Amino acid sequence: DRGGDWSSDVCSSDLACSLPFAQVEHPAFRDFIRYLRPAADDLLPRSGDTVKTDLQWGYDNKKKFVKRALQNALSSIHIIPDNWTSPNGFGVIGFTVQFVTEDHGLQSLVVRIKELEGEHSGENMAEAIMEFIQEYGIATKVGYFMMDNASKMNTMIDKVSDELEREFDVFYDPLPHRLRCSGHIINLAVMEFLIGKRPRMTGSYGGPSEEEIEEWRKRGTIGKLHNIVVYITWTPQRLQTFTVLTDGLRLRRDNDTRWNSWYQMVERALRPKVRQAITVFCAQEPALQEDALTPSDWVTLAEIHKFLEPFHDATMANEGVQNSIADVLPTMDYLLHHIEAAREATTIPHLATMMETAWAKLADYYELTEDSPVYSAATVLNPSFKWAYMEKTWEDKTEWIERAKSRVGQLWRQSYKSTFSLPVLRPGSAEEPTTRRLNGCKMWMNEQKATIFNTDDDEYEVYCREPVVMTPDPLKWWLEVAQRKRCRLEPDASWCLCPATIAIHEFVCF
């Protein structure tokens, strides 16, 4: 590379560790590198501007390969946009894409991070996404969008659909391509259970106002705990006093955007040392007298903790590269059943009411999954589930099953079904060779196979008829020789990636 290995490493380290580019100009830093390798001083950039230039060169060079990979992808390009505000106050939008590569691998790449001009509106997000689509030449390959549940995301994908048709004459139906983050859905159900609409916060340096404190107190036990935690953690002096009482254990505080923060706050408060410290602290602080937790409040907190634990488990179970959209419906079923059981078991009437609101919120999003057939398709293409899962879970809702089967079948035929069929030779068929005698034994075996494998069927129909197979890794199962062999066109043909495997890449792994 242009600057030598050490120069490249320094540039990468600056970027990965969020160090300023001018770090290479600091004498102490250069002394440190020189100590590790004296000859490196001649290879290191001498200014931050050089580091910036080298990084841009590296980005532009790599971009060519990424662009080629996206254009040659076997699958559609699925996009996950994300907005945030950087520590230095810039509004930023980033895109991660996922696709099946030419060599049949699943690839996930961060392809763009840029400043978003203006507010984080759906229109502005769509403009940034269309710039990316046009720049990389993938207008005909745009797949699904995985996003949170904000209404501006609907605006964004509608705008992308309009622009794709206007600029590229590409029809793109936004409704079935708009997928929803399951972690965000779980968090919304939790918040509906706990507090409904979150009270307004001013974020003033002097702490929450009396009106804000009273608003939280109206939320009952959980609001009182919130007030206590905010009060104690607002100043380092109070926090120091509290940690002395707990032998060093700190409180956890709820947060708007950090999932499971409420569960963690309650879990920490219920620890014996922390519970005792909260009781002592509230007794000593006049400002906390109205928020002091009674014995019945502690009983309520224990039941809230028990109720929230499955939501925590569901969030954690859906994290990581091994989890995908195939887990969304089973996860939501798990939580809906949990809420129903908890509502029947609770002896605290107001908690039962809170549980009903959580169930309603989750059920609303469960119903929205019907907008896109890929939720059902991904579940069915997991060999551990297939249609047996729906038939068991929805056993009293046959119309759901039939509707889902129809939509998944339509999705398969329109987007993934093979254009070829497996040749099965029969005596007297038009495809029978006339220049040499056919092997009678092989012909008989082919006929026997034909009684099992109907050549009018496709891979999806055959797959659905086969028994459920328990496997911890659906993608690995689909890439086994036995599954890939379904697509072998003739005895001496090389292996190819069957449409079912492309579908499993796209759905079970997205």
The 3-state secondary structure of 423-452 reads: CCCCCCCCCCCCCCCCCHHHHHHHHHHHHH
Q: Is 110 helix (H, G, I), strand (E, B) or coil?
A: strand
- One-letter amino acid at 108 equals S
Q: Are 155 and 371 in contact (CB under 8 A)?
A: no
239 CB-near residues (< 8 Å, 6+ apart): 232, 233, 250, 251
* Rounded Cα–Cα distance for residues 421 and 111 (Å): 37
Instruction: Compute CA distances 510 → 34, 374, 452, 476, whole Å.
Output: 46, 10, 33, 14
pTM for this model (two decimals): 0.81
* Rounded Cα–Cα distance for residues 275 and 305 (Å): 14
**pLDDT number for residue 488:** 44
From its phi and psi, is residue 271 left (phi > 0), alpha (psi between -120 and 50) or beta? beta
- Yes or no: say if 228 and 279 are a contact pair by the CB < 8 Å rule: no
pLDDT of residue 281: 94
Q: For residue 143, what is the enclosing H or E element?
A: strand 142-147
CA proximity to 379, closest of 364, 398, 397, 401: 401
Q: Hunting for tokens 């100043």 — which residue is that?
A: 235
Residue 192 token pair: 């509906």
- Sequence-ordered list of residues with C-beta below 8 angstroms from that of 348, at least 6 positions apart, any chain: 299, 300, 303
User: By C-alpha distance, which of 303, 283, 309 is closest to 294?
Assistant: 283
Amino acid at 363: A
User: Whole-angstrom Cα distance, residue 501 to residue 477?
Assistant: 10
Task: Kindly give the interhelix angle for 295-317 and 349-368, rounded to the nearest 10 degrees.
Answer: 20
> How many whole angstroms separate alpha carbon 483 and alpha carbon 502?
12
SS (H, E, C) 164-206: HHHHHCCCCCHHHHEEECHHHHHHHHHHHHHCCCCCCCCCCCC
pLDDT tens for the chain, 510 residues long, are 344 455 555 555 656 677 788 888 888 888 888 888 888 877 788 888 888 888 888 888 888 899 999 999 988 999 999 888 877 778 888 889 999 888 777 888 988 888 888 888 899 999 999 999 999 999 999 999 999 888 999 999 999 999 999 999 999 999 999 999 999 999 999 999 998 766 665 555 567 888 888 989 988 999 999 999 999 999 999 999 999 999 999 999 998 778 899 999 999 999 999 999 999 999 999 999 999 999 999 999 999 999 999 999 999 988 877 778 888 999 999 999 999 999 999 999 999 999 999 999 999 999 999 999 999 999 998 888 999 999 999 988 999 999 999 999 999 888 877 644 444 333 333 344 445 656 555 555 455 444 444 445 577 888 888 889 888 888 778 777 777 666 543 333 333 344 555 555 566 556
pLDDT given for residue 425 in this prediction: 35
Closest CA to 252 of 199, 305, 290, 213: 305
Beta-sheet strand order (sheet of 178-180) = 106-115, 91-100, 77-85, 142-147, 178-180
HSE (side-chain half, CA atoms, 13 Å) at 418: 20
Total length of the chain = 510
According to DSSP, the residues that pair with 85 across neighbouring strands are 91
As a whole number of angstroms, the distance between CA 447 and CA 92 comes to: 62
- In angstroms, rounded to a whole number, what is the distance separating the alpha carbons of residues 87 and 99? 31
